[in-house]
Structure 1
Amino acid sequence: MTREKFWFFMPFRVRYAEADQQGLLFNAHYLAYFDTAIVEYFRALPYDLQGEARDAGVDFHVVRAVVEYKAPIRFDQEVDVAVRIARLGRSSLTFHLAIFGHSADDLLAAGEIVWVNTDQMTRSAVPVPQNLRELVDNHADTGREDGSIHSPINTSNTSNTSQ
């Protein structure tokens, strides 16, 4: 995964409270960085995520969250979190995320988050709003030139070891 796959980047600096005893970004904070970057991505589109949830009675629920750790991220290190929508389904959004060194090409972490748009009264899946589809299409986030979807997450070699 490379920086060229993304148009949106959110800068962060690892704060003391986010580091573990080894001086590295604590694993749970990767998802917090991803979540913050996704919210800012919507702001940049521009799409009023909170307003849509309030006005339409729908909201997105996380149904999948994956982090791949590629290299250590250290206390006080500056990084850029990249966000793109890799797949736009009927009721779901699949985000691909990456953490790079600030203004650098070194991939430090990769992630995938899947949201499902949900009616808040019935808790059932509902279609992604058309205005959001149009904004995403305008930024050409989804897929590659050949029409395929690029995934940083290789799930073909996973096995269930909890049995």
Structure 2
Amino acid sequence: MARAEFNFCFPFRVRYSEIDGQKVVFNAHYLTYFDTAITEYFRELGYDYMAQVERTGTDFHTVRTLVDYKRPILFDDEIEVHVRTARIGRSSIGFAVEIHPQGKDDLYASGEVVWVNTDQTSHKSAPVPEELVPLLEGFEKKGLRG
């Protein structure tokens, strides 16, 4: 996808602690970038995720992550992590994520993160909170149920 297909991105500058012996971002940090960007995406939506947990007794659990590594990201690179909601199911939300150099369409990595909303007492899946669906669909400017 192109950067233009995303309504949200969050910038990072790669820190020394994130690189490995080859001076490339260690693979596990990509998921940290994804997770941080998704948190900021929800902040941009104005959705109080922690209030949802307190109010409903449900919480999202990550059940799937996928990273496709395209090019290495190096120390001190300035990157943007782009996030969009790709799909909303009964109890799940799927996010598409891409990492690009700041201000450029070149692709460092793409990925997917899937969350399932879970009742914290029964540990069974629970419906995505109804107040969240119109926020996501409005932000993405399209229907996402499917």
TM-score by length of 1: 0.86
Deviation of the 1:51 alpha carbon = 1.2
Correspondence list, 1:21-40, <5 A: 21-40=21-40
Deviation of the 1:142 alpha carbon = 5.5
- Is 1:113 matched up with 2:140? no
Structure 2 stretches lacking a partner, 5+ long: none
Do the aligned residues in 2 keep the contact of 1:60 with 1:115 (CA within 8 Å)? Answer: yes
Deviation of the 1:27 alpha carbon = 0.2
CA–CA separation in structure 1 for the residues paired with 2:128 and 2:61: 12
Aligned length: 145
CA–CA separation in structure 1 for the residues paired with 2:140 and 2:29: 28
- Is 1:42 matched up with 2:51? no
Do the aligned residues in 1 keep the contact of 2:59 with 2:117 (CA within 8 Å)? Answer: yes
CA–CA separation in structure 2 for the residues paired with 1:44 and 1:123: 29
User: Where in structure 1 do 4 or more consecutive aligned residues deviate above 3 Å?
Assistant: none
CA–CA separation in structure 2 for the residues paired with 1:142 and 1:22: 42
Deviation of the 1:56 alpha carbon = 1.1
Do the aligned residues in 2 keep the contact of 1:65 with 1:111 (CA within 8 Å)? Answer: yes
Deviations 1:6-27 (A, max 9, x none): 0100000110000001111000
**What does residue 65 of structure 2 align with?**
65
Do the aligned residues in 2 keep the contact of 1:79 with 1:100 (CA within 8 Å)? Answer: yes
- Is 1:81 matched up with 2:65? no
